[in-house]
Copies of this chain bind each other. A is one copy, B any other.
């Protein structure tokens, strides 16, 4: 059983009593952990991961497995009806199965392992295009190769750089029309020498090509010497900052004197009227499953989201030169959005009232590996208002009712090389699920000879953000797999357009108004939508269930700011990242269609992805459907992004729309006062307010 450990991250105690002590003493009396039943959607446990390797070794690999390497192992989820049946009758857990992407004898394998039966269910050699995600181990090995490659050493010496201050990173190479591909990557090197901010100090002009199967350098170019940008001002560590520093902020934190209001039972999180399953996956990171919300009128939990996760990230750079054109990354399918997740820093990445969970992935060699504190869960109160009204219309009376807005956040942070992606799934009392992506970390910098904009003659494909330092134009497109099951699994997708109507007769002094015209998408082609092209509301409804008023019960997609892929449709990265062509897609549920960029994404050729699946133009009316949302950001770097980027946020919200008969938070109680935190009379004199 996977050991998601619930921990309250109490900071080290100071000599005096501190506020955190409260939390601890409450935790000791009302433990949030309880022994739990295995859930069909639980991620694979360490013992299950170990079992996968044991089974492979004793079956497929009992004789002739050279170079067995694991690139992905995750839960092969049971069919949806089986999971739902398990929930209904609480029967024994469905068979546990693992989905494995492995390289065996230099071939791509797609294997399903039945853990219950200790047997291989299927083992397919993938003959098609593309490769599985890179392992951390092979990247580490590749990054070392240049240091024993004499042409590289010469290049470093030629530039007058110290070898011991060079560090290298592995980059996927994309696909640009070649029929035959090998499993190769590019290794790009950076210079430290006075900073830890290597990304601000690229050693430009060198192209190192590594064949991963041979694990050796198979191509090398040193085209041009470009100055390495200087180290000064690039180190972002607090200890390295000189005066003057910013005006300090006094300590501030969220205080919950009586402890949190959520519980984590195994992998089931319960908070306010929400209940959901939370798992960690090495490819997509956090997976929210079976999110349902309690309807007090119906005295029942009602389904909202069967499964939601970041399905793929596409990050194309806009520099077409030799050293840069290939930089069109797929961060989930090539690097692993979960695999690159970082241990969260208590009281910094998540507030002091957060609880933390660990996650596990399989290493290249089959060893389960832990990411400590990979997910945090906390309640947020940022001073916002859930609803309010002050009524002054009633003579002689004033009524004010206000409810503060508290929400529950599930957070993971993934570090894809230079970029830090902060992923928040926020559950709100009013029944909505809000997703926010924060982008921070470091720009991917191109070294340049220029030290002032006025010198620039050739196209630099970016902004001069510091001397010799060009922040290259690029995009981020994150696709979300949102398998909404609104009050049951047969749903429809409705576009409600707001249309202007002319007033033609003289019945009204008005000349126009707008009205809402709804249209149900029949097939997949009806549901490919680029936002901004007309006033429309997008809804997933259950056409089989109506409110008492006769409205279909539904959830609405509220996009944040949105952009589209600007690369031409026939460009290779666009073909591979078909999902970035539209902001919204709807497909019929198909368990195998999980990852919008396809299964084998590294050097994929665009023959297995959301855009291709959608071409089948399947029926989606009153079916079990999946909503795919592509969130996009164009990034024109600015000097404020140097040497480290302030977080930029973008997201979307799934909000109930005629799902409830009335405002679901009408009956939310006022928050208790924190003054209920009491201490004895003696204590008053003990406080040292000035410290």
In the complex, whether A526 has a CB less than 8 A from a CB of chain B is no
* Chain A interface size, under 10 / 10 to 19 / 20 to 34 / 35 or more: 35 or more
Q: Are A467 and B566 closer than 8 Å at their CB atoms?
A: no
A417 neighbours in B (Cβ, 8 Å): 393
| Interface-lining segment among A52-60, A90-98, A374-382, A618-626 | A374-382
Contact string, A653-690, partner B, CB cutoff 8 A, digits 1/0? 00011111111111111111111111111111111111
A299 neighbours in B (Cβ, 8 Å): 244
Contact A320 to B508, CB < 8 A, known contacts A352-B674, A473-B515: yes
A22 neighbours in B (Cβ, 8 Å): 687, 689
The 8 Å CB contact of A389, one of B353, B387, B415, B551, is B415
Q: Which residue of B lies closest to A378 (CB)?
A: B383
Q: Are B273 and A247 closer than 8 Å at their CB atoms?
A: yes
In the complex, besides A251-B258, A465-B549, A643-B666, 18 extra interface pairs with C-beta distance below 8 angstroms are A14-B678, A22-B689, A233-B662, A249-B272, A250-B259, A255-B255, A318-B514, A321-B508, A354-B383, A382-B383, A386-B646, A401-B644, A453-B546, A502-B568, A512-B566, A513-B567, A643-B662, A644-B663
The 8 Å CB contact of A571, one of B512, B644, B690, is B512
Q: Are A25 and B689 closer than 8 Å at their CB atoms?
A: yes
Give Cα distance in the complex from A461 to B507, angstroms. Answer: 15
Q: Are A249 and B379 closer than 8 Å at their CB atoms?
A: yes
Q: How near does chain B come to A590, taking the closest CB pair, in angstroms?
A: 31
A149 neighbours in B (Cβ, 8 Å): none
Q: Are A176 and B510 closer than 8 Å at their CB atoms?
A: yes
Q: Are B669 and A640 closer than 8 Å at their CB atoms?
A: no
Interface residues of A in 564-590 (CB under 8 A from B): 564, 566-568, 570-574
Contact string, A502-523, partner B, CB cutoff 8 A, digits 1/0? 1100011111111110000000
Q: Which residue of B lies closest to A682 (CB)?
A: B686
Among A167, A198, A403, find the residue whose CB has the most chain B CB atoms closer than 10 A: A403
The A contact surface, by secondary structure, is loop
A689 neighbours in B (Cβ, 8 Å): 21-22, 25-26, 29
A675 neighbours in B (Cβ, 8 Å): 11, 13-14, 18-20
Q: Are A550 and B453 closer than 8 Å at their CB atoms?
A: yes
Kindly report how many copies of this chain are found in the complex they form together. 2
Q: How near does chain B come to A129, taking the closest CB pair, in angstroms?
A: 16
The 8 Å CB contact of A349, one of B190, B388, B532, B688, is B388
Q: Are A549 and B464 closer than 8 Å at their CB atoms?
A: yes
Interface residues of A in 451-470 (CB under 8 A from B): 451-454, 459, 461, 463-467
Give Cα distance in the complex from A656 to B642, angstroms. Answer: 13
In the complex, whether A636 has a CB less than 8 A from a CB of chain B is yes
Contact string, A408-423, partner B, CB cutoff 8 A, digits 1/0? 0100010101001010
Q: Are A512 and B568 closer than 8 Å at their CB atoms?
A: yes
Q: Are A640 and B667 closer than 8 Å at their CB atoms?
A: no
Q: Are A252 and B388 closer than 8 Å at their CB atoms?
A: no
Contact A388 to B679, CB < 8 A, known contacts A176-B510, A549-B466: no
Give Cα distance in the complex from A359 to B288, angstroms. Answer: 47
Give Cα distance in the complex from A532 to B273, angstroms. Answer: 36
The 8 Å CB contact of A663, one of B237, B391, B641, is B641
A-B residue pairs in contact (CB < 8 Å), sample of 11: A249-B261, A249-B668, A249-B671, A251-B256, A389-B441, A405-B647, A511-B567, A511-B570, A535-B563, A535-B564, A645-B663
Q: Are B511 and A671 closer than 8 Å at their CB atoms?
A: no
In the complex, whether A214 has a CB less than 8 A from a CB of chain B is no
In the complex, whether A127 has a CB less than 8 A from a CB of chain B is no
Q: Which residue of B lies closest to A533 (CB)?
A: B532
| Interface-lining segment among A40-48, A277-285, A554-562, A598-606 | A554-562
Q: Are B683 and A196 closer than 8 Å at their CB atoms?
A: no
A350 neighbours in B (Cβ, 8 Å): 383
Among A388, A397, A498, find the residue whose CB has the most chain B CB atoms closer than 10 A: A388
Q: Are A511 and B252 closer than 8 Å at their CB atoms?
A: no
Give Cα distance in the complex from A573 to B502, angstroms. Answer: 14
Contact string, A175-198, partner B, CB cutoff 8 A, digits 1/0? 011000000000000101000111
In the complex, whether A64 has a CB less than 8 A from a CB of chain B is no
The 8 Å CB contact of A245, one of B390, B513, B636, B668, is B668
In the complex, whether A34 has a CB less than 8 A from a CB of chain B is no
